Structure 1
Amino acid sequence: MDQLSYSAEWLSRWREEITHAVSSMVLTFEEKNGYEPGMNEVRIASKEDLRAVHDGGRELQGFEDLLTFYESIGEVVLPEVGNGFFVHSACDVLHRVEEEGVSLSEADGPHGMVIASNGGGILYVADRGGAIHRSRSASLDDAEFDKVADTLPEFLEHVRRCVVRFVETGETGDL
């Protein structure tokens, strides 16, 4: 992707590039895998998504990049990329925060919220400083996390590269 500043326009291009890559994958998916693919999409934010973002403003304060994301993108559902990859909707993220509170409670570590996961149960957490952390295991109980990106845009660019790589080679890298 070119060097646009992180914005709705940047997210629109990000979405288009992933959609283009996934569309080409889906064309031959059944032939290669023996079954039809599920729905693979980067969904544009709906009125319901925008309402959730507006209503959840207090919980999302301090997560400006995440707010920008959810004002443009409703969710990312890519079950056929690797073992699956998902950026949860604002409704789901805020519901989880309401039910469980913030995650990533390592001693002296940042606190944040689970925003994404993969089909193997690995969780991705955004902290209040903007960094994204990946769990080492599929459980939040005593989970250890590694920082995988300093910012949400950096993380999203990594996701885009992994999706394109998967479509081209069948390997996701470290997604």
Structure 2
Amino acid sequence: MDQLSYSAAWLSRWREEITDAVSSMISTFEETYGYEPGTNEVRVADEEDLRAARDYGRELLGFEDLLTFYESIGEVVLPEVGNGYFVHSARDVLHRLAEEGSVFVPEADDPHGMVIASNGGGILYVADWGGAIHRSRTASLDDAEFDKVADNLPDFLDYIRRCVVRFAETGATGDL
């Protein structure tokens, strides 16, 4: 993406680029893959999402980039892109955090985090309290090991964008 700093405007541009790539892919999806695609979207935050984002903002844990994200984007649902990519809604992130507590990420400077995304194979993406994003090596968080995939949320989101564009153009997703 261009040099726009991470903000609501950056997220709007990010959403547009993914939406354009997905629209291109969906136009020939059934012909290419032999079945009708489901819903693939980057959903703009609605009132319920904004309320959850405000609740998130009151939490003691987390970081500003994630709050900025949830004030603009409700969720990302891309089941037809590769194995599927999903950035969970603020509601879902908060619910999981309340029910299961923080995720232990021993590889992080601050080893506490929260699940913010997943893929269709059950791999989880955890944001540590410092803002870095880590990918679980397995579909289970029991004794999970993680690999850092991005230093911050904007880098992670840009990587998702590049994977979506690559998949729309070539059918290859990369290693997200």
TM over 0.5: yes
Cα offset, 1:33, TM superposition: 1.3
| Counterpart contact for 1:41–1:78, Cα < 8 Å | yes
Cα deviation 1:126-163 (Å, max 9, x = unaligned): 01111000000100000100111001001101110011
| Counterpart contact for 2:131–2:151, Cα < 8 Å | yes
For the structure 1 residues 164 and 100, does the alpha-carbon distance in structure 2 shift closer, same or farther, using more than 3 Å as the test? same
- Once residues 62 and 89 of structure 2 are traced to their aligned partners in structure 1, the CA distance between those partners, rounded to angstroms, is 18
- Once residues 108 and 11 of structure 1 are traced to their aligned partners in structure 2, the CA distance between those partners, rounded to angstroms, is 26
Cα offset, 1:35, TM superposition: 1.1
- Once residues 3 and 107 of structure 1 are traced to their aligned partners in structure 2, the CA distance between those partners, rounded to angstroms, is 30
Secondary structure, aligned partner of 2:114: strand
For the structure 1 residues 65 and 31, does the alpha-carbon distance in structure 2 shift closer, same or farther, using more than 3 Å as the test? same
**Cross-structure match for 1:111:** 112
Root mean square deviation of aligned Cα: 1.3
Cα offset, 1:41, TM superposition: 0.2
**Cross-structure match for 1:31:** 31
**Cross-structure match for 1:5:** 5
Identity %: 80
Q: After the TM superposition, which residues 146-157 of structure 1 pair with which residues of structure 2 at under 5 Å, given as runs?
A: 146-157=147-158
Secondary structure, aligned partner of 1:56: helix
| Counterpart contact for 1:85–1:119, Cα < 8 Å | yes
- Once residues 119 and 38 of structure 1 are traced to their aligned partners in structure 2, the CA distance between those partners, rounded to angstroms, is 13
- Once residues 124 and 173 of structure 1 are traced to their aligned partners in structure 2, the CA distance between those partners, rounded to angstroms, is 16
- Once residues 92 and 166 of structure 1 are traced to their aligned partners in structure 2, the CA distance between those partners, rounded to angstroms, is 27
| Counterpart contact for 1:40–1:78, Cα < 8 Å | yes
For the structure 1 residues 68 and 136, does the alpha-carbon distance in structure 2 shift closer, same or farther, using more than 3 Å as the test? same
Q: Does 1:124 align with 2:131?
A: no
| Counterpart contact for 1:104–1:125, Cα < 8 Å | no
Aligned length: 175
Cα offset, 1:32, TM superposition: 1.1
Q: Which moved more, 1:57-66 or 1:134-143?
A: 57-66
**Cross-structure match for 1:45:** 45
Cα offset, 1:108, TM superposition: 7.2
Q: Which moved more, 1:153-162 or 1:97-106?
A: 97-106
Residue type of the alignment partner of 2:114: M
- Once residues 105 and 175 of structure 2 are traced to their aligned partners in structure 1, the CA distance between those partners, rounded to angstroms, is 23
Cα offset, 1:107, TM superposition: 7.5
**Cross-structure match for 2:57:** 57
Secondary structure, aligned partner of 1:86: strand
Q: Does 1:101 align with 2:101?
A: yes
| Structure 2 portions without partners, runs of 5+ | none
- Once residues 107 and 53 of structure 2 are traced to their aligned partners in structure 1, the CA distance between those partners, rounded to angstroms, is 29
| Counterpart contact for 1:59–1:94, Cα < 8 Å | no
